[in-house]
Structure 1
Amino acid sequence: MTTSVPAFRQTQRVLDDAFDPSSSASAHLYISFGAHRIRLGVLDAQRNKFVALEDYEAESPSSVENAISQLQQLRTVTPLLEERKWQQVRIGIKNQQFTLIPEALFDLNAREEYLKLNAVVEPDLEVVHHHEHPRLELINVFTVPASLQAWSGAQFQGSPVEYVHQTSALMEGILHMAERSSRPQLFIYVDKNYVTLVVLQGLKLEFCNSFFFTSSEDFIYYVLFVLQEKKMNPDQDQVTVWGELLLDSKLHEVLRTYIRHVQFGKKPTGVGFSYRFDTLFNHRNFDLYSLHFCD
């Protein structure tokens, strides 16, 4: 019996009128990689401006290997993945294989042991990486699919390639946007079947975790659980939401039912966007944009 490979369809595409793929040597390529979704973003480093974005989503349940096959196929479809040298390539990894370690306790040789406390590490299939967060005084330890690392090493020969976990991008992007407050602030990022919750207080990280959900009841349970744990008031405290959430969606409806002050997040400040990005919802793609702040 032949097993069909899930097809990926393009759901978003914006290109600045002046965008020239041949100028990649002065541009950054950002890739958000997950089993079910791949997004490509280009930042013109000279103008500090996003000038291109492409989004591809699986039409049915997919896997990491299927997504890598899709990346290989995209080389014939989009100029963003043609062989060329980029000033910087940064790949954001979407999975639950991560853990946060206080900077003062971090030991490079113990990265796999840290991960084993929260996840099952498969050395033959995954490579352990870490990302430093100096302002938060912590280290994010995470895994990268070995096949993805092999693909990117071959694809971007001659270009510096960095790997960052999605939660690192979100924490840095949120930290860049948040205002200092004496009250805890809850920030929510919604993916398909995953929700990442980040709590800051006084620009210090109080909580960060990602949860799998299959229903709106699961979704709101995790949100309310974190609010309760951090002694936040759903009738008073502001909650900011980014990601794959629409105004008329069931998830937004259940949020508004239990939380009085819910607002959609905006594009990050400190970086520009081509006017072509005005056609996109401001609260979408925040994790991709925030890869820019993961230096």
Structure 2
Amino acid sequence: MLILLETGQKSMMQQKKTNIQNTINNRLSVQISLNGLSFLVTNPASEEPVFFLENVLDHSTTPEELLMEIETIMFKNEILNTAFAEVSVVYSTPVYSLVPAPLFDETKASEYLKFNSKILANDYMAHDLVENQNIVVVYVPFMNINNFFFEKYGSFSYYHSVTVMLKTILEKENYSLPKIFLHFQKNSFDCIVLKNGELQLCNSYTYKTPEDFIYYTLFCMEQLHLDSDNIPVILCGEIEKEDDNFKIAYTYIRNLEFMDSNYTATRSLDNDRPHNHFILKNVI
């Protein structure tokens, strides 16, 4: 499927599905958010990490500033200037919406976003299908960055981080009772609630303090009539047992645990724990 990308006077044809000639065996995965960038090179045969770099930014940036950061990182790391068998880019942004696949109309993609997100008239709408789940994730990718990666590597795949999360979790979960997954990033977290192996809630929240985080979490539980003393809550991403977010969560939620290696496709990065860098380790 070919998609026309436009940025100012510039346009190109980009293939949404990966169709890269296998010049080498390694795979490149890039995670992009307004608060940071992560690069992971793996060997698909062994799932061993070959190269990993994480650049956490002190403040939120614009897509233009992010592109400058990407160019600087690539200039300093020669391995990122080689050819790859696969290239995948994941956007971790709060501008997304989930739509049941039978109700999805591609021509009305902007309609699904405009009521709960601020979008611009010239924003490009993309969507992912969470296979075997009848879920479509509609979101706004950064087209200047897409254009850059197209020029750099040719055809590549791109997704929203929620797509990666849902695909990974739903493929492994058939737990009949409700279960919550909380994925932490800098200044934001994603909340996914499952019951009978099916999705009940998927939402993202921006927070500044641990009190903000626990308020949103407990509010979700209250609205879904979930018991904070009994429901299993699985933690992943940027959170550790020593963190204030964990401590305040344990004050109100009794059944807390960290995500284990059964949920991750790639082995540890820089001696991290299985629950860290959850998105990057599970890029489709």
Match of 1:220 among 200, 214, 232: 214
- Partner of residue 164, structure 2: 169
* Residues 1:24 and 1:199: Cα distance change in structure 2 (over 3 Å): farther
**TM-score, normalised with respect to structure 2:** 0.86
Amino acid of the residue matched to residue 127 of structure 2? H
- For 1:165 and 1:278, locate their aligned partners in 2 and report how far apart those are by CA, in whole Å: 24
Amino acid of the residue matched to residue 165 of structure 2? L
| 2:280 paired with 1:288 | yes
Deviation track 1:116-167 (CA, whole Å, cap 9, x = no partner) reads 232122243x32111001222110011111211121111212xx31111111
- For 1:40 and 1:123, locate their aligned partners in 2 and report how far apart those are by CA, in whole Å: 31
Worse overlay, 55-64 or 65-74: 55-64
For the 8 Å contact 2:264–2:281, the answer to whether it is kept is no
Q: Give aligned-pair identity as a percent.
A: 21
- Partner of residue 64, structure 1: 63
- For 1:161 and 1:92, locate their aligned partners in 2 and report how far apart those are by CA, in whole Å: 11
Amino acid of the residue matched to residue 29 of structure 2? Y
| 2:253 paired with 1:245 | no
For the 8 Å contact 1:31–1:41, the answer to whether it is kept is yes
Cα offset, 1:278, TM superposition: 6.8
Q: Which runs of 5+ in 2 are unaligned?
A: 1-21
- Partner of residue 42, structure 1: 41
For the 8 Å contact 1:29–1:43, the answer to whether it is kept is yes
Amino acid of the residue matched to residue 254 of structure 1? I
SS where residue 117 of structure 2 aligns?
coil
- Partner of residue 192, structure 1: 186
List, as ranges, runs of 4+ consecutive aligned residues in structure 1 with deviation greater than 6 Å: none
**TM-score, normalised with respect to structure 1:** 0.83
- Partner of residue 107, structure 1: 105
| Count of residue correspondences | 263
For the 8 Å contact 1:173–1:268, the answer to whether it is kept is no
Q: Which runs of 5+ in 1 are unaligned?
A: 1-22
- For 2:280 and 2:243, locate their aligned partners in 1 and report how far apart those are by CA, in whole Å: 22
- For 1:123 and 1:54, locate their aligned partners in 2 and report how far apart those are by CA, in whole Å: 34
* Residues 1:247 and 1:176: Cα distance change in structure 2 (over 3 Å): same
For the 8 Å contact 1:172–1:290, the answer to whether it is kept is no
| 2:209 paired with 1:211 | no
